[in-house]
Amino acid sequence: MRTDLALESHQRAEASGRLEGIDKRERRYESAGFEVTEIDVQTEAAARLLGKPCGRYITVRCSEGRLSDRLYDAAAREDCLVRELSRLTALPKRILVAGLGNTAITPDSLGPRTAAGILATRHLKRLARGLDTSQLSEVTVISAGVMAQTGIESASVVKALCDETRPQLVLVIDALACSQLAHLGSTVQLCSSGISPGSGVENARAELSEATLGVPTCAIGIPTVTDCSVIAEAAGGSIAPEFQGMIVTPKDIDELILRSSTLLSSAINRALHPGLTREELALIM
């Protein structure tokens, strides 16, 4: 099963009846049309069972439609993500935000497109002596690219920046893979354990986590691809050998990336700069 979602791994474990060391909580945001499932993986045995490191995994799901739909108020959805991100971790004043992925491949461009909408303030805090920057956190933003473009592992790029900027938290954004069509383009996962880019499509790169970066690391992602076999299974058939291993993405992937990256960047800006209103942040950006 190719998936980056702890929720899907939990559902598989739940079916087998083995859930020791795992705590699960659910809540709803009616005005945003979001359902939230929080899974706390507490033991190494539970981590092995789910194939996920110990940590907290918050999955925000659309109760109907996808994130590219215009059924709900954007501000309400941002409110939900701000609250859940604040619930996931105590947000410090010095943060490094890293967007992972390839802008040349639309389903993989969520990270860099989200990073493009993040308000970078490190230079203002250090150089703009004549400005009152007390309402701003110190935020550094990087789009790390992919190794095929840079020749460097994304984890190495982020680690070098950690050594330079000394953040108190690293926030990584990346596109994910899922194994259920209901989660494709309709789910946001926030986790406290970092990320192994590409693991959901069997192209795992170096891990970005507190263990590798030396800094607490959280990750945010949205499933933009699934395995072709998932489509065949949903249709009640089997996949021909020549289609095995193919990865598919939604028809409206351009709109999905545009709207979801805007949603993520706006919510992250609000969470990192709580002293500014949504309108003030929009004006600045």
- For the chain, what percent of residues have pLDDT higher than 90? 66
Domain count, the chain: 1
| Helix spans in 73-214 (H) | 74-88, 110-115, 122-127, 147-150, 154-165, 210-213
Pairing of strands 187-191, 55-62: antiparallel
Which structure tokens are listed for 68?
């590219």
Q: Is the residue at 144 inside a domain?
A: yes
Q: Is the residue at 162 inside a domain?
A: yes
Read off the pLDDT of residues 136-145 as tens digits, 9 standing for 90 and up.
899 999 998 8
State the residue range of the domain holding 114.
6-284
Listed residue (7, 4, 111) closest to 59, CA to CA: 7
Measured in degrees and rounded to the nearest 5, phi and psi for residue 81 equal -65, -35
Q: Is the residue at 236 inside a domain?
A: yes
Listed residue (107, 161, 121, 112) closest to 276, CA to CA: 121
Q: What is the mean pLDDT of residues 209-233?
A: 91
Least confident segment among 34-43, 138-147, 234-243? 234-243
Q: What angle do CA 25, 86, 39 make, to 5 degrees?
A: 25
> Residue 119: is its pLDDT beyond 50?
yes
Q: Is the residue at 250 inside a domain?
A: yes
CA distances, 30 to each of 35, 91, 242 (Å):
8, 25, 44
Listed residue (83, 75, 78) closest to 38, CA to CA: 83
Q: Is the residue at 1 inside a domain?
A: no
Read off the pLDDT of residues 141-196 as tens digits, 9 standing for 90 and up.
999 888 888 888 999 999 999 999 999 999 999 999 999 999 999 999 999 999 98
> Residue 48: is its pLDDT beyond 80?
yes
Q: What is the mean pLDDT of residues 214-233?
A: 90
What is the per-residue pLDDT for 200? 46
Q: Is the residue at 120 inside a domain?
A: yes
The CATH number covering residue 52 comes to 3.40.50.1450
* C-beta of residue 137 within 8 angstroms of C-beta of residue 271: no
